[in-house]
Structure formats: structure tokens, C-alpha cells
Structure 1
């Protein structure tokens, strides 16, 4: 790989790093795939592809950094939500809305996490599990446990709940071809997203409610 030219090294600023991350996320969203090349990222960002290694060490390092950029602020909101002075069912609605909004804005995140956990090597799998998946599971488990203690929720397996929610949220955005060809829906609008949040919330809470 060629070394960065002086012109591109002059772009060695915080914004250059963000340009690479933003270009990567935009390409994945537009092309509906995580299989994009360094050449595409370089062309989109206007920067030398060698800067990927300079900033992130490798393409996989770039992908982890992208997840940290787009999911980091959302991870920081999880613990405050658990301790917020509100009913567990309201916490659950806020959490579901947050997960759906994340997939709405960054529809590539679940596929990217899956790739890093299963194909990129054990080092990356550990990062994804500890920084992203585990905090989500811990948050859901805490909300479910609080709801159970207050008699609002039935006892529920956190594993089943996690895959139910994450799978439901991901597929709306991953399955856009189905939306188009089967339902004639060409875009996930704000209204469709809102109705989907309501549907998931109603489905889950009805299943959690004591008889």
C-alpha cells in the first residue's frame, strides 16, 4: 500500500478521520451492503486509502471505529435509562424506539457487528460483544427484572427477548427488497418507523403482561 502523500498527510486532522468514517457509513447505507472496498472509501472521502491504515491500522479497525462513532452515544444512554425515575414499561418503549431509530439511521450496524464477531477474528468478536452486545443485553435484563419485581412483566428469558427485539428491528431495514416487491413500499418513512415501534412495543408488552 502506498504511503500517504504530503498533500494527504496535510489532511492529518480530526476531520480527515471522520471523513473516512462518514464515507464508509454512507456507502454501506446507499449500497445496502457492508462489502465495500478501500478504493470506494478513498474515492468517496477524497482521501488516500493509505490513511485507513494510518488512522485505524486496518479495514477492520476502521469498521470498529465506525461502530464506536455511531453507537457510542447510544450506548452511553443505556445506564441512565435503567435508573430513570419512570415505569419499566415506559423505559421499554424508549429503549425499543432507540433501537429502531438506530437501525433507521444506520441500517448496516447489525450486519457489520455480525461480520466482526464471526469473520474478522476473535479479537474483534470480543470487542463487539463487550462494547455493544453485552450493554444492550444488560439494559434489557435490568428493565425486565424491574418490571417483574413490580408485577408488570412475566418472567422472561433475556436471551429470547434480545434476539426477538434486535431481529425485528434489523429486518425492517435489511428487508427493503421485500418491502418494495411485496408491499410496494420503496422507503422506510418516519411514519412507517413510528408504526413499527408501536407494533413491536405492543407485541412485546402483551406477551410480557401477566394474565
Structure 2
């Protein structure tokens, strides 16, 4: 499924769906719940999206299309391979941090076989992003900068897994690190956590001195 045409009503429905899916789960949210929260006739939601599964698919495309474009364009930037990887980490952290709702939905729904068709579009996105990452890693390997024994498909889970562990344990880290406001918490993610993940990925990629 390609990028969808969106009007204000569709965007409003997608925002509400993301909020409810992330709070109540996909199974726990009905089209009626979404239409009520969005203050839109239930028939209008069905007219625009057809089904709850198609609504989830549209939401995934809406929220991840720009991530795909950013990662694809990164391959062609005039940067050294390690700088590209550092920027890749920054792109992932920024996009996930700005779209915690949809990534929470995906994190939960990916464990369910029931949603395989709806999530096929997300699987295709991940395959495309992996190809872009492979291009960057192979460039670094050809220059003798990156190790030859890197397991490339595990790089992205290392980035996202670290972020999600931090975020899923937010109350613990807020208390531990005195991140008592949302601004402090977000700034920590964008600076210290991002730098930590970049250092971790660098340690996996680069030959030891």
C-alpha cells in the first residue's frame, strides 16, 4: 500500500485511533469508540477506511512514511559511514520519541498473528530500512572502517530495544535520574540516551584499537 491521500477528517480519525489503540490495544478499541472520541459518525470512519484493520494499516503508513524517506536519503549524503550510522540512530530516536503511540501499538500487535495482513506494510518498511542500513554498513566495510563480522539485522533491534526498555520503564528512570518533568525526560532521550546508543552501535561496528 502506498502513501495515502489524507484530508483533515481522516487525520483527525487517525490521531484518535492512535491514542485509543495505544491506550486500550487494537482488540480493546472499536470503530464505535473511535467515532465517538473523534465526534464523527460511525459510517464516516467505515467510509474512509473500510475496516479497523485497514485503519491500522493507514495509521502505520501515515506515521512511518517520513522515516522511510529520511533513511533512504541518508544513504546518499556526503558523510563518512560512521557519521551516517550516528545520524541513523538520531533519526530513529527522534521519530520513535515523537510517535510513541503508534510504536507502542506496533510493539504489541506484532506479537499477534491475527494482524499479519495489516502489519505487512510495516514489514515491508522494515525490509526497505534494512536495505538502506546494509548499504551504509557495506560502504564502511569496503573502506576498512567497519568489522566484517557484523550481524546487520541486529543493529536496528539494538537501537530500538534500548529505547523501548528505557521508555517502558519510565517511572524507574524518572526517579533514578531525577527527570521530574517531561522536558527533562525528552531532553535526556535526545542527548544522553541517544549518545549512549550511538556509542553502543559504534562499539559493535568499529575495529578495536
- Give TM class, smaller chain: 0.7 to 0.9
Matched, 1:138 2:131: yes
Matched, 1:97 2:85: no
Q: TM-score, normalised by structure 1?
A: 0.81
**Do the aligned partners of residues 171 and 87 (structure 1) sit closer, same or farther apart at CA in structure 2, a change above 3 Å counting?**
same
Q: Which residue of 2 aligns with 1:50?
A: 43
Matched, 1:202 2:199: yes
**Do the aligned partners of residues 14 and 119 (structure 1) sit closer, same or farther apart at CA in structure 2, a change above 3 Å counting?**
same
The count of aligned residue pairs is: 197
Q: Which residue of 2 aligns with 1:161?
A: 155
Q: What's the C-alpha RMSD, in Å, of the aligned pairs?
A: 2.5
Contact 1:24 1:41 in 2 (8 A): yes
Q: Which residue of 1 aligns with 2:33?
A: 40
1:77-124 CA-partner distances (Å, limit 9, x unpaired) = 222111211111111111111111111111133343341573334322
**Do the aligned partners of residues 39 and 174 (structure 1) sit closer, same or farther apart at CA in structure 2, a change above 3 Å counting?**
farther
Deviation of 1:157 (Å): 0.7
Query: Mapping of 1:38-187 within 5 angstroms?
Result: 38-114=31-107, 115=109, 118-130=112-124, 132-155=125-148, 156-180=150-174, 183=177, 185=179, 187=182
Distance in 2, matches of 1:148 and 1:73, equals 28
* Matched residue SS, 1:77: helix
The runs of 5 or more residues in structure 2 that have no matched partner are: 1-5
Contact 1:116 1:124 in 2 (8 A): no
The runs of 5 or more residues in structure 1 that have no matched partner are: 1-12
RCO comparison, higher one (Cα < 8 Å, 6+) = 2
